[in-house]
Amino acid sequence: MVRLGLLSFLLLWVGCCYGKNEFFRDLPLQNPDLFGGDMMGMNDPEDRNAIIDKRMIWPGGIVPYTIDPALSTYGSQFLGAFYLYRKDTCIRFVERTNETDYIRIFKGQGCYSYVGKIGGAQPVSIGQGCNYMGTVLHELGHAIGFFHEQNRFDRDEWLTIYWDNIKEGMETEFAKLPLKLHQMLTDFDYDSVMLYGEYAFSKEYGKLKTMSPKKSNKPLKEVGWKQLSKADITRIKKLYDCEDYVYRKDRK
């Protein structure tokens, strides 16, 4: 089967630094070898889009899943993330029965997810350091078809990038997606769960900012602390053609 998705892969080599300091919550999302820090198969940003190809969309917004028993201690994070998607959008994560296409959530070495539906058993790894609610929402956001907010074509209207503070060789992590290939769907969103924190790829994490908002006085939160924003919800509804969706408790 032709693989239409793009792998978002987070290798965790930061266990020694991942503690009480809130600024380190996003370090697992910042692999120096991957475009955007967590997207494999994206050597050149000219190659990608924001899931313009409808074949990468989950039909009807229904995403079957399985969860490895090894992740039983993370159950509340998964159920909470599934609920937030179901409550606010038409995306429904449902336990797999016999579906051919589904996401297989397991505890691998790090965290990774394809961007969009690829067909077959689609791995979503949630490893050490990636079990925060915001991080789970972020990875599921990739799985249903979304890229990073800081790579938007219009990013420079909304963010100041401090190039001198970025680790040497990691400047390409801030490459912008070409407008011709990118569905933006809403205005830039500082609260998006798909936007990294302000110390992403910093030479001195927690001290030297690599980006800051131009049109807001609020600091950019780490992904791990976030939930779905209003704009996240709007763009999901637009991508999945369900802008009139209203949550009902009796809907399975």
Query: Which residues are annotated binding-site positions for Zn(2+)?
Result: 138, 142, 148
Binding residues: 138, 142, 148
Tokens found for residue 29:
């999302």
Residue 64: its H or E element: strand 62-67
User: How far is the CA of 136 from the CAs of 5, 92, 172, 227, in angstroms?
Assistant: 18, 15, 25, 10
Pairing mode of beta strands 211-213, 102-106: unpaired
Give one word for 196, left, alpha or beta, with left for phi > 0 and alpha for psi -120 to 50: beta
Say if CB 242 and CB 89 are below 8 A apart: yes
Closest listed residue to residue 232, CA positions, set 187, 200, 198: 187
The owner of tokens 């959530």 is 105
The helix/strand/coil state of 48 is: coil
Say if CB 201 and CB 152 are below 8 A apart: no
Q: Which residue in the list 139, 149, 198, 222 is annotated as catalytic?
A: 139
Is position 168 annotated as part of the catalytic site?
no
Beta bridge partners of 64: 94
Catalytic residues: 139
